[in-house]
Structure 1
Amino acid sequence: MSWDFSNNLFVADTSSHRIISFNILCPPTTTTTLAYPTLPQNLA
């Protein structure tokens, strides 16, 4: 396995005598965390 500067992953498939390349792009994602409402202890 090898990486290049364009975020491509190269894998040698020796049993099939070929080289496979994968373009690995991980775009930024937005993560949202929500807190569930809780009841006060005297109402639970």
Structure 2
Amino acid sequence: DRITDHRINYSRGNLPGALNGDIDDMIEKLHSRELELLSNEAG
């Protein structure tokens, strides 16, 4: 079992855990990517 976010090129196992709300790792990766994009926009 696997869940993937193709926007940030991140995959992880434990699909049942993700469905139960254990997605802190994905949120952290998304947040890091957002900060990276904002930093690039600022120059």
TM-score, normalised to structure 1's length?
A: 0.23
Q: Higher helix share goes to which structure?
A: 2
Q: Higher strand share goes to which structure?
A: 1
TM-score, normalised to structure 2's length?
A: 0.23
Which protein has greater RCO, CA pairs closer than 8 Å, 6+ apart?
Answer: 2
> Which structure has the larger Rg?
1
